[in-house]
Amino acid sequence: MIRPEHLIQLLGKSITDPEIERLKEHLGDCDVEHSHHIIYSFYKHGLELHFDDNILGTILLFSEGADDYQQYPYPLPHSLRFSVTNAEVRAVLGKPSRSGPDTDIYQFPDHVLYVEYCMEPKTINSLTLMTLEKFAE
């Protein structure tokens, strides 16, 4: 099982860090895209890892069917569930730092959480965890 706090702790680590290597080994098969950054897409596990300059800056967690991913099967950060609505997210996390029609952004001391909602019902479509540095770009 992948613990949500462990995912947050992986942000900012090098692509060659043993913890990153263990996670990739645990998750198994993935697609790798090399563009201006490296993206590991684990479709069967609903997870993407984005590396800029070989540093993990962004982790995406998907609900079932979002961008052709299977649902991320492990506990979500901040005790969230994909089935909760935007109102329930706000009840748990409070007022977002920023928000849009289908998004809420929460800034924490060590990371940023970007919540994207489905159109209807307004449940969680995906979660994005980012380093503070990546968010500031």
pLDDT digits (tens, 9 = 90+) for 61-77: 999 988 889 999 999 99
pLDDT of residue 137: 72
Beta pairing partners, 61: 47, 127
Ranges under pLDDT 70 in the chain = none
SS3 label, residue 84: coil
Q: Locate the domains of the chain by residue range.
A: 4-136
Return the CATH fold of 4-136. Pathogenesis-related Protein p14a (3.40.33)
pLDDT of residue 109: 95
pLDDT of residue 111: 96
How far out from the chain centre does Cα 43 lie?
A: 13
pLDDT of residue 119: 85
pLDDT of residue 136: 76
Q: Which of 69, 33, 67, 68 is nearest to 51 (CA)?
A: 33
Helices (H), the chain: 4-10, 18-27, 86-93, 132-136
Quote the CA–CA distance of 85 and 95 in Å, as a whole number.
14
pTM for the structure as a whole: 0.95
pLDDT of residue 123: 95
